[in-house]
Structure 1
Amino acid sequence: MTTVPAGKSTRPPSLDAVFAHAWAAGGFTAADAMASTGLTRSTTIEAMDTLVELGLLRELPNARAVGDYRKGRPARRFELREDAGVLVGVDAGHAHLTAVVTDLRSQRLGIRRTTRQVDRDDAADRRAAIADLVDDALRAAGRTRADVLALCVGVPAPVDESGRSPHHRHLFWDRMNPGLADVFRAWAPLVRVDNDASLAAVAEGSVGAAVGCRSYIALLAGERLGSGVVIDGNLLRGAHGGVGEMVAFDHVEGVGTARGLGTRAAEWALEAIERGDVTGPLAAIPRDRLDGQAVIELASQGDPDAQRIVHRVGVVLARIVATLGSMFDPERVVVTGAIAAGVAEVVAAAREALPTGMDLPAPDLAISQLGADVVVTGAVAAAAALARDRLLDVWTRPAA
């Protein structure tokens, strides 16, 4: 969601075209921008000069000065001012919060993390904690709120196009997204609040395992299942932002719940221990350290008890992938989030268990390499896209 209403711009379209080229390019000349935009030379130069006056471009030493041009009149060279402001990406997870500040090239300038006590979480405290974390990250970057050009927050709740989440019968969504759009649009020019799995999908499509794919699903699969769905190059949302919600799996035979892969592995390991079915290393793990990652790690080390549990989790993953494949027909499903770092054994089992009698081809099953920061990576990418597409709608800052 943005804080700026859509409307007809009175500025020349050439300004947007040259700005978009500058955003994607490094140093460039008028000829480069002309080739990219199709504009005339005079229009291109006028747009570049205007963007310099606005403080969004800087003029570089000419081509002769840097040794790239030796005859005739040297070409003027320009580049985006990456220091003209900052982008902010936030992963406002259930228990873990992360805020990252970057320049306009998405180079990290500051980061802050904190952990919430979920049993004491309420909307007002959570709202204040997220705002404080953003301020802390800005201080770490040596910047202030006045420097922020675009900000994006990911939350574990469905989010509609206005940045708001529907009421939840247990108030979970209400607490996870406690009016964050209103909190940040009070001072940030461009704001987007979105579902965390949707932002994971943005990350995977931008720099992850779905680069080049037009139809894919990012499956956040740690504590609970969540999915970001991209079909034909479009991130799907739905009327209430609920396209990626996985509660439907409560009714899918062989899945039965939206609990994540790590949660299942830990629960099934604990059940096996309590039944006395395991006696090796798995049984020796202290109960307060028995989580999905521990089970998966033991399986990768060859522990047969853990491997049986991991295989069982893989069969469930295969059913999930097959169901998503029949619903959305994606080219690829990417298992993403913190659990992806050790999920190879689960994915291998899932690939073996994928049904072969489906009407549609089964999607490719891939593992993310973006780790636990996938949501905040997607949030930064979304903030960058927001700034690229809408910054000229709100920019009034003169050149420094």
Structure 2
Amino acid sequence: MKYCFGVDIGGTTVKMGLFSTEGELFEKWEIKTRTENEGKEVLPDIAASVRSKMEEKGISIEDMAGVGIGVPAPVSEEGIVKNSANIGWGYKNVKKEMEELLPGVCARIGNDANVAALGEMWLGAGKGCSNMIMVTLGTGVGGGVICHGQIIAGANGAGGEIGHICVNYNETEKCGCGKTGCLEQYASATGIARLAKLRLAKPHEKTILEGKNLSAKSVFDAVKKGDRIATEIAEEFGAYLGHALANMAVITDPERIVIGGGVSNAGPALLPFIEKPFQEKTFFANKDTKIVLATLGNDAGICGAARMIL
């Protein structure tokens, strides 16, 4: 039997999984992401954990298909990261360094959102598809585009950065990327909270959101209770996201659009707010594109990282 490791590097923890080349997940675990000293110890820590698990399970180098790694940054096809805000890296040839730390083991590197999309296509909500889009709605908005079973990475490793599509040309407040009007400003967890604050600053009828700590969760909890103001906020969020996805669909023609990230924990109540504006704007050829919730949760990254090897 051959084995591979799937690794998902986050700002706080590194998620890791041991897989068979048939796709069976044997074990998963986490280690701390040591971001101090420009993230100098991140890759050595991963390599040490891989070696330890190989020793524990009696896996030899000859039994290894490789190690796949998802990184929270644009990644070139050669496995090079030029900058990463969350883990302290500047320019880093991740593939080269990982293969030096694990002699004889092949490494494949990808952007974390792209890798999560690959995971959902392989074992999750996109199973059976070879063309799909995944959007992750968390603190920011990430995305991955899969065409004919392959990640679209692009020339700079920034393919699928859905969160930075401009959806409001009149916005004056800046996104974290330094530009204005990005989807991330309206469809992320922080973006939904921002929409809620802006709505409650205007004249409004009574709402259960009044006096609450505004968050994406509190908005969708209120939606489920029939709150009108919360519903208006959800409709505004959905219009921005649904229209952006219609634009993406006409470019990539996906079979399925998968919605993941923390905001997707709102469950099926989320989908109608996205589907209606998507259908209003989408090209006729994309009318039957299904919008579904991700199913792998936090395992999407390690599954997609393993899939890169396989």
- Fold-level match, TM-score > 0.5? yes
Relative contact order, higher structure (CA 8 A, sep 6+): 2
In the alignment, residue 79 of structure 2 is paired with which amino acid?
Answer: G
Q: Distance in 2 between matches of 1:297 and 1:116?
A: 33
Distance 1:198 1:274, change over 3 A: same
What is the alpha-carbon root mean square deviation over aligned residues? 3.5
3-state DSSP class of the match of 1:238? coil
Task: Please state how far the C-alpha of 1:122 moved relative to its aligned partner.
Answer: 2.8
1:293 corresponds in structure 2 to 217
Alignment size in residue pairs: 294
Identity %: 21
Distance (whole Å) between structure 1 residues aligned to residue 50 and residue 211 of structure 2: 41
Partners of 1:95 and 1:116 within 8 A in 2: yes
> Quick one: distance in 2 between partners of 1:153 and 1:278?
49
1:180-223: CA deviation from partner (whole Å, max 9, x where unpaired):
32332121522111112222222222122222323221222222
Match of 2:182 among 250, 257, 271: 257
Distance between the aligned counterparts of 1:140 and 1:301, measured in 2? 53
Q: Tell me whether 1:207 sits opposite 2:207 in the alignment.
A: no
Q: Retained in 1: the 8 A contact 2:140–2:163?
A: no
Of 275, 291, 296 in structure 2, the residue corresponding to residue 370 of structure 1 is 296
TM-score normalised per structure 2? 0.78
Matched, 1:267 2:191: no
Corresponding residue of 1:347: 271
Corresponding residue number in structure 2 for 1:327? 251
Q: State the distance in 1 between where 2:107 and 2:40 align.
A: 20
Per the TM alignment, residue 249 of structure 1 is displaced from its structure 2 partner at its CA by 1.2
Instruction: Give 4+ residue runs of structure 1 displaced > 6 Å after superposition.
Output: none
- 8 Å Cα contact 1:338/1:372 also seen in 2: no
Q: Distance in 2 between matches of 1:309 and 1:343?
A: 17
Partner of 1:158: 74
Q: Check conservation: 1:96, 1:114, Cα contact below 8 A.
A: yes
Kindly indicate whether the alpha-carbon contact (under 8 Å) linking 2:259 and 2:292 is maintained by their aligned counterparts in 1: yes
1:1-400 alignment to 2 at 5 Å? Answer: 82=1, 85-114=2-31, 122-131=38-47, 134=50, 138=53, 142=57, 146=61, 148-165=64-81, 167-168=82-83, 175=89, 178-186=92-100, 187=102, 189-246=105-162, 248-250=164-166, 253=169, 256-259=181-184, 260-272=187-199, 281-285=208-212, 287=213, 290-356=214-280, 358-362=282-286, 363-383=289-309, 385=310
Distance in 2 between residues matched to 1:262 and 1:318, nearest whole Å:
16
Unaligned 5+ runs, structure 2: 172-180
- Point out the structure with max Rg over C-alpha: 1
Residues 266-275 or 361-370, more deviating: 266-275
Task: Decide whether the 8 Å contact of 2:129 with 2:255 is kept in 1.
Answer: yes
TM score, norm. by length of structure 1: 0.62
Aligned residue for 2:291, secondary structure, equals strand
- The residue number in structure 1 matching 2:177 is none
Task: Name the amino acid aligned to 2:129.
Answer: C
Instruction: Return the letter of the residue paired with 1:376.
Output: I
Q: Which residue type is aligned with residue 299 of structure 2? A: D
